[in-house]
Amino acid sequence: MNRNNSSAAGMRPCAQRRTVMPPRHACGRRSRSSYRSESRPAADVPQRRLAMRLVTLPLLRLPVLLLGWLLLTGAAPAESPRVTAVLDGDTLELEDGRRVRLAGIEAAKPPRHADPADGRVWPLAEAATMALSDLALGRRVALHGPAPVDRHGRLLAHLVREDGLWLQSALLARGLARVHTRPDARAYAAELLAGEEAARNAGRGLWRSRVYAVRDAADPEGLARDRDSFQLVEGVVLAVTKGGGESWLDFGADWRSDVTIHIGRAAMREVTRAGIDPLSYEGRRLRVRGWITLRNGPMIEITHPEQIERLEREAVSATPRRAGADDDDPWNDDEGEDDPE
């Protein structure tokens, strides 16, 4: 078989580094389903207290205000509409009727199976919504970035308050959101990632929950249970296959079943423009974020280079940092995210 013509069937082309490559069997994306198990709700009052505790967490105001000021100093928009409603932890409505989704982040949300009518409380999701209300409701904001419109009709933009506070950075500082850039909304990724890192290292908010813990790339069985969810995965790349305008980064010895990062042709063009050669990732520790699918093992599809963080110059054997949460911690009941872009 000519492997150079095999990528359309889900198989890898000839490897640039590997000289022997067994044929990769096609394995298309399965129908969407969930491995998530039902979580145990904690008592309503303790959950609400936890949510309130997160909302009142002291904010790292200096970097948040500084970054907001930097955004405002460049080509600031002439309009500054007032926020009239907050719909969830990262979506709000302006006085002119437009709905804005905060670009570059994903706030904590209830799981997709949650029924609002059952009265159940999701403390992290509630804390994120309450925090955004506290930060933005009734305030004037300036919209920054290209502001594309998503498939739900919402503008994707960075919002800066009239006093210079950057809303995305404020939520990240409280540990109520993760960085989730998109191909058409990836401005200020480095600043957002730095804010997320600080909150994760401090164990704030969602970083206390095992639901949001960084996944171990050396555990494909565990990661398979996270299918169809947005995750952060960390590990050492053992091998890189490059060919046919695509690349695969493998975190295990058997690429038929290990955790794999796929960089397709369109993404490869973006990676190349960023001055990155995927072969340089071999033997390095990476943190990768994206949606988990199952194609010969758990796989993350790369759509833009900001999804990949190179953590160290040399590979080490340390395991990913994980949030120290017990199974009975009510924070562990919280999970959710928007649909894949």
Contact 21, 14 (CB under 8 A): yes
Q: How does pLDDT run across 216-261, given as a tens digit for each residue?
A: 999 999 999 999 999 999 999 999 999 999 999 999 999 999 999 9
Q: In the structure encoding, which two tokens stand for residue 302, read together? A: 């790369």
Is the pLDDT assigned to residue 69 strictly greater than 60?
no
Where does the pLDDT of residue 71 fall: very low under 50, low under 70, confident under 90, or very high at 90 and above? Answer: low
Where does CATH 2.40.50.140 sit in the chain?
A: 214-321
Task: Label each residue of 56-117 as H, E or C.
Answer: CCCCCHHHHHHHHHHHHHCCCCCCCCEEEEEEECCEEEECCCCEEEECCEEECCCCCCCCHH
Q: Report the range of poorest mean pLDDT among 8-22, 62-76, 106-120, 159-173.
A: 8-22
- Which of 76, 187, 92, 80 has its CA nearest to residue 130? 92
User: Which percentage of the chain shows pLDDT scores above 70?
Assistant: 69
User: Which percentage of the chain shows pLDDT scores above 90?
Assistant: 62
- Once rounded to an integer, what is the mean pLDDT over residues 84-92? 97
Query: Which CATH number is 44-210's, of 2.40.50.90, 3.40.50.720, 3.30.390.50, 3.40.50.300?
Result: 2.40.50.90
Amino acid (one-letter) located at 297 = G
Cβ neighbours of residue 43 closer than 8 Å, sequence gap 6 or more? 330
- Once rounded to an integer, what is the mean pLDDT over residues 78-83? 87
Is the pLDDT assigned to residue 299 strictly greater than 90?
yes
- Which of 268, 59, 256 has its CA nearest to residue 167? 59
Q: Residue 277: in which H helix or E strand, if any?
A: none
Where does CATH 2.40.50.90 sit in the chain?
A: 44-210
Average pLDDT, the chain: 79
Cβ neighbours of residue 200 closer than 8 Å, sequence gap 6 or more? 175, 207, 214, 321
> Cα(71)–Cα(159) distance, rounded to whole angstroms?
9
Torsion of Cα atoms, 295 then 245 then 219 then 325, to 10°? -100
Q: Residue 266: in which H helix or E strand, if any?
A: helix 265-273
Is the pLDDT assigned to residue 173 strictly greater than 70?
yes
> Cα(130)–Cα(121) distance, rounded to whole angstroms?
13
- Which of 91, 329, 317, 104 has its CA nearest to residue 213? 329
SS3 161: strand
For domain 214-321, give the CATH number: 2.40.50.140
Q: How does pLDDT run across 2-25, given as a tens digit for each residue?
A: 434 444 445 565 555 543 333 343
What is the pLDDT at residue 338? 61
SS3 26: coil
What is the pLDDT at residue 282? 96
* Dihedral over Cα of 115, 35, 104, 106: its sign: positive
Cβ neighbours of residue 31 closer than 8 Å, sequence gap 6 or more? none
